Chain A
Amino acid sequence: GAGVSQSPSNKVTEKGKDVELRCDPISGHTALYWYRQSLGQGLEFLIYFQGNSAPDKSGLPSDRFSAERTGGSVSTLTIQRTQQEDSAVYLCASSPLSGRQETQYFGPGTRLLVL
Protein backbone atom coordinates (compact mmCIF):
# COMPACT_ATOMS: atom_id res chain seq x y z
CA GLY A 1 0.00 0.00 0.00
CA ALA A 2 0.92 3.66 -0.12
CA GLY A 3 3.48 4.85 2.35
CA VAL A 4 3.93 8.24 3.95
CA SER A 5 4.30 10.95 1.35
CA GLN A 6 5.74 14.43 1.75
CA SER A 7 5.79 17.47 -0.46
CA PRO A 8 7.68 19.23 -1.77
CA SER A 9 10.72 16.99 -1.89
CA ASN A 10 13.00 20.00 -2.08
CA LYS A 11 12.40 23.63 -1.18
CA VAL A 12 14.74 26.57 -1.60
CA THR A 13 13.64 29.83 -0.04
CA GLU A 14 15.03 33.18 0.93
CA LYS A 15 15.64 34.19 4.50
CA GLY A 16 12.54 35.80 5.98
CA LYS A 17 10.02 33.98 3.78
CA ASP A 18 7.38 31.59 5.11
CA VAL A 19 7.29 27.94 3.99
CA GLU A 20 4.72 25.17 4.27
CA LEU A 21 5.64 21.50 4.26
CA ARG A 22 3.02 18.84 3.75
CA CYS A 23 2.71 15.28 5.04
CA ASP A 24 0.22 12.62 4.00
CA PRO A 25 0.37 9.77 6.52
CA ILE A 26 -0.56 6.17 5.88
CA SER A 27 -4.33 5.84 5.81
CA GLY A 28 -5.72 4.83 9.19
CA HIS A 29 -2.63 5.80 11.18
CA THR A 30 -3.68 7.84 14.18
CA ALA A 31 -0.27 9.08 15.29
CA LEU A 32 1.79 11.55 13.24
CA TYR A 33 5.22 12.93 14.04
CA TRP A 34 7.45 15.64 12.61
CA TYR A 35 11.22 15.43 13.02
CA ARG A 36 14.12 17.52 11.75
CA GLN A 37 17.39 16.02 10.52
CA SER A 38 20.28 18.44 10.36
CA LEU A 39 23.67 17.65 8.87
CA GLY A 40 25.73 15.67 11.34
CA GLN A 41 22.89 15.53 13.84
CA GLY A 42 20.38 12.87 14.66
CA LEU A 43 16.68 13.27 14.32
CA GLU A 44 15.22 16.05 16.42
CA PHE A 45 11.59 15.70 17.46
CA LEU A 46 9.41 18.68 16.61
CA ILE A 47 5.72 17.91 17.16
CA TYR A 48 3.39 14.95 17.60
CA PHE A 49 -0.31 14.42 16.90
CA GLN A 50 -2.39 11.57 18.31
CA GLY A 51 -5.98 11.31 17.16
CA ASN A 52 -8.05 14.24 18.36
CA SER A 53 -5.85 15.01 21.35
CA ALA A 54 -3.99 18.28 21.70
CA PRO A 55 -0.64 18.00 19.92
CA ASP A 56 2.63 17.67 21.81
CA LYS A 57 4.52 20.77 20.71
CA SER A 58 7.38 20.40 23.17
CA GLY A 59 10.00 19.95 20.45
CA LEU A 60 9.27 23.05 18.40
CA PRO A 61 12.43 25.19 18.49
CA SER A 62 10.71 28.59 18.36
CA ASP A 63 7.32 30.23 17.89
CA ARG A 64 8.12 30.59 14.20
CA PHE A 65 7.29 26.90 13.86
CA SER A 66 3.71 25.62 13.90
CA ALA A 67 1.84 22.60 12.61
CA GLU A 68 -1.69 21.47 12.14
CA ARG A 69 -3.39 18.25 11.24
CA THR A 70 -6.71 18.47 9.47
CA GLY A 71 -9.35 15.77 9.79
CA GLY A 72 -6.93 13.49 11.55
CA SER A 73 -5.02 12.93 8.32
CA VAL A 74 -2.90 15.43 6.36
CA SER A 75 -0.51 17.61 8.32
CA THR A 76 1.18 20.88 7.42
CA LEU A 77 4.32 22.19 9.11
CA THR A 78 4.72 25.94 8.73
CA ILE A 79 7.92 27.87 9.32
CA GLN A 80 7.50 31.63 9.41
CA ARG A 81 10.26 34.13 8.72
CA THR A 82 12.73 31.38 7.86
CA GLN A 83 16.33 31.62 9.03
CA GLN A 84 19.42 29.95 7.61
CA GLU A 85 19.62 27.66 10.63
CA ASP A 86 16.25 26.22 9.61
CA SER A 87 17.96 24.49 6.68
CA ALA A 88 17.53 20.76 7.24
CA VAL A 89 15.58 17.72 6.10
CA TYR A 90 12.11 17.67 7.64
CA LEU A 91 10.77 14.16 8.14
CA CYS A 92 7.23 13.08 8.81
CA ALA A 93 6.32 9.71 10.29
CA SER A 94 3.09 7.97 11.17
CA SER A 95 2.13 4.93 13.21
CA PRO A 96 -1.09 2.99 13.66
CA LEU A 97 -1.20 3.81 17.35
CA SER A 98 0.96 5.64 19.80
CA GLY A 99 3.02 3.65 22.25
CA ARG A 100 6.55 2.61 23.00
CA GLN A 101 6.37 -0.54 20.87
CA GLU A 102 4.92 1.05 17.77
CA THR A 103 6.95 1.18 14.58
CA GLN A 104 7.00 4.59 12.97
CA TYR A 105 6.82 4.73 9.17
CA PHE A 106 8.77 7.59 7.66
CA GLY A 107 8.24 9.63 4.56
CA PRO A 108 11.12 10.55 2.22
CA GLY A 109 11.45 14.01 3.76
CA THR A 110 11.49 17.58 2.51
CA ARG A 111 14.94 19.09 2.09
CA LEU A 112 14.74 22.78 2.99
CA LEU A 113 17.46 25.23 2.07
CA VAL A 114 17.22 28.79 3.33
CA LEU A 115 19.48 31.20 1.48
Chain B
Amino acid sequence: GDSVTQMEGPVTLSEEAFLTINCTYTATGYPSLFWYVQYPGEGLQLLLKATKADDKGSNKGFEATYRKETTSFHLEKGSVQVSDSAVYFCALGNSGNTPLVFGKGTRLSVIA
Protein backbone atom coordinates (compact mmCIF):
# COMPACT_ATOMS: atom_id res chain seq x y z
CA GLY B 1 0.00 0.00 0.00
CA ASP B 2 0.88 3.66 -0.13
CA SER B 3 3.29 4.98 2.48
CA VAL B 4 5.20 8.11 3.47
CA THR B 5 8.54 8.22 5.25
CA GLN B 6 9.88 11.43 6.70
CA MET B 7 12.96 12.17 8.72
CA GLU B 8 12.60 11.69 12.42
CA GLY B 9 13.07 14.61 14.70
CA PRO B 10 13.31 16.50 16.71
CA VAL B 11 15.17 19.06 14.65
CA THR B 12 16.62 22.04 16.49
CA LEU B 13 17.91 25.02 14.53
CA SER B 14 19.06 28.52 15.27
CA GLU B 15 17.08 31.39 13.86
CA GLU B 16 17.95 32.18 10.21
CA ALA B 17 19.35 28.69 9.61
CA PHE B 18 18.48 26.68 6.50
CA LEU B 19 15.88 23.97 6.94
CA THR B 20 15.42 20.70 5.10
CA ILE B 21 12.96 18.03 6.17
CA ASN B 22 13.17 14.95 4.00
CA CYS B 23 10.09 13.11 2.78
CA THR B 24 9.91 10.12 0.47
CA TYR B 25 6.89 8.16 -0.60
CA THR B 26 5.76 4.87 -2.07
CA ALA B 27 2.61 4.90 -4.15
CA THR B 28 1.01 3.54 -7.27
CA GLY B 29 -0.34 5.91 -9.88
CA TYR B 30 -0.05 9.67 -9.64
CA PRO B 31 -0.51 10.87 -6.08
CA SER B 32 -0.73 14.43 -4.82
CA LEU B 33 1.72 15.42 -2.11
CA PHE B 34 1.15 17.71 0.85
CA TRP B 35 2.93 19.28 3.77
CA TYR B 36 0.77 20.01 6.79
CA VAL B 37 1.93 21.93 9.85
CA GLN B 38 0.72 21.73 13.44
CA TYR B 39 1.64 24.72 15.59
CA PRO B 40 1.61 24.26 19.36
CA GLY B 41 -1.93 23.96 20.66
CA GLU B 42 -3.49 24.15 17.21
CA GLY B 43 -4.91 21.77 14.63
CA LEU B 44 -3.21 20.69 11.43
CA GLN B 45 -3.26 23.16 8.59
CA LEU B 46 -2.12 22.88 5.02
CA LEU B 47 1.28 24.44 4.39
CA LEU B 48 1.70 23.62 0.71
CA LYS B 49 0.90 20.99 -1.88
CA ALA B 50 1.85 19.74 -5.33
CA THR B 51 -0.41 17.69 -7.54
CA LYS B 52 1.89 16.47 -10.30
CA ALA B 53 5.52 15.70 -10.98
CA ASP B 54 7.91 18.68 -11.09
CA ASP B 55 5.35 20.98 -9.47
CA LYS B 56 6.70 23.19 -6.71
CA GLY B 57 4.48 24.10 -3.80
CA SER B 58 5.35 27.19 -1.80
CA ASN B 59 3.96 29.17 1.11
CA LYS B 60 5.34 31.36 3.92
CA GLY B 61 8.88 30.96 2.58
CA PHE B 62 8.67 27.17 2.54
CA GLU B 63 9.08 25.21 -0.68
CA ALA B 64 8.85 21.59 -1.79
CA THR B 65 9.24 20.11 -5.25
CA TYR B 66 7.46 16.92 -6.35
CA ARG B 67 10.25 14.66 -7.67
CA LYS B 68 8.84 11.54 -9.25
CA GLU B 69 12.25 10.17 -10.20
CA THR B 70 13.36 10.10 -6.57
CA THR B 71 9.83 9.74 -5.10
CA SER B 72 10.54 12.69 -2.83
CA PHE B 73 8.92 15.89 -1.61
CA HIS B 74 11.49 17.48 0.68
CA LEU B 75 10.49 20.62 2.58
CA GLU B 76 12.93 23.54 2.57
CA LYS B 77 13.14 27.04 3.95
CA GLY B 78 16.08 29.35 3.53
CA SER B 79 15.87 31.17 6.85
CA VAL B 80 13.75 29.82 9.69
CA GLN B 81 12.18 31.91 12.40
CA VAL B 82 11.20 31.09 15.97
CA SER B 83 7.57 31.22 14.83
CA ASP B 84 8.23 28.24 12.53
CA SER B 85 8.54 25.95 15.54
CA ALA B 86 5.92 23.27 14.96
CA VAL B 87 5.39 19.68 13.89
CA TYR B 88 5.52 19.14 10.13
CA PHE B 89 3.71 16.25 8.43
CA CYS B 90 4.29 15.01 4.91
CA ALA B 91 1.22 13.40 3.36
CA LEU B 92 0.08 11.71 0.19
CA GLY B 93 -3.32 11.67 -1.49
CA ASN B 94 -4.04 9.04 -4.10
CA SER B 95 -7.00 7.77 -6.07
CA GLY B 96 -10.46 9.21 -5.64
CA ASN B 97 -11.92 8.05 -2.37
CA THR B 98 -8.94 7.27 -0.20
CA PRO B 99 -7.85 9.28 2.84
CA LEU B 100 -4.50 10.98 3.14
CA VAL B 101 -1.54 8.85 4.16
CA PHE B 102 0.67 10.72 6.64
CA GLY B 103 4.25 10.44 7.74
CA LYS B 104 4.95 10.35 11.46
CA GLY B 105 5.76 14.02 11.69
CA THR B 106 8.94 15.98 12.37
CA ARG B 107 9.12 18.35 15.30
CA LEU B 108 11.06 21.53 14.55
CA SER B 109 12.31 23.83 17.28
CA VAL B 110 13.88 27.13 16.30
CA ILE B 111 15.85 28.97 18.97
CA ALA B 112 16.70 32.65 18.96
**Contact status A101-B32, CB under 8 Å:** yes
Report the Cα distance A93→B99, complex, angstroms. Answer: 10
Q: Which of B11-19, B65-73, B75-83, B90-98 contacts A (4 or more CB under 8 A)?
A: B90-98
Report the Cα distance A104→B102, complex, angstroms. Answer: 12
Min CB distance B68 to A, Å, is 14
Given contacts A42-B103, A101-B32, are A106 and B45 in contact (CB under 8 A)? yes
Report the Cα distance A101→B96, complex, angstroms. Answer: 9
**Contact status B104-A104, CB under 8 Å:** no
Give which listed residue, A4, A59, A103, contacts B49 with CB less than 8 A.
Answer: A103
Query: Is the CB of A12 closer than 8 A to any CB of chain B?
Result: no
Query: Is the CB of A65 closer than 8 A to any CB of chain B?
Result: no
Closest to B42 in A: A108
Given contacts A101-B93, A106-B43, A107-B43, are A42 and B104 in contact (CB under 8 A)? yes
Residue numbers of B with Cβ under 8 A of A are: 4, 30-32, 34, 36, 42-46, 49, 51, 89, 91, 93-105
Give which listed residue, B31, B34, B99, B104, contacts A33 with CB less than 8 A.
Answer: B99
Report the Cα distance A42→B5, complex, angstroms. Answer: 10
**Contact status A45-B99, CB under 8 Å:** yes
Q: How many residues does chain A have at the interface if contact means C-beta atoms less than 8 Å apart?
A: 27
Query: Is the CB of A99 closer than 8 A to any CB of chain B?
Result: yes
Report the Cα distance A42→B94, complex, angstroms. Answer: 18
Report the Cα distance A103→B44, complex, angstroms. Answer: 11
Given contacts A106-B44, A109-B43, are A98 and B97 in contact (CB under 8 A)? yes
Report the Cα distance A91→B44, complex, angstroms. Answer: 9
**Contact status A99-B89, CB under 8 Å:** no
Min CB distance A107 to B, Å, is 6
Contacts of A41 in B (CB 8 A): 104
Report the Cα distance A35→B36, complex, angstroms. Answer: 14
Closest to A103 in B: B46
Contacts of A48 in B (CB 8 A): 97, 99
Cross-chain pairs A/B with CB under 8 angstroms, 12 sampled: A33-B99, A35-B102, A41-B104, A42-B103, A43-B44, A43-B91, A45-B101, A98-B97, A100-B93, A100-B95, A106-B44, A108-B43
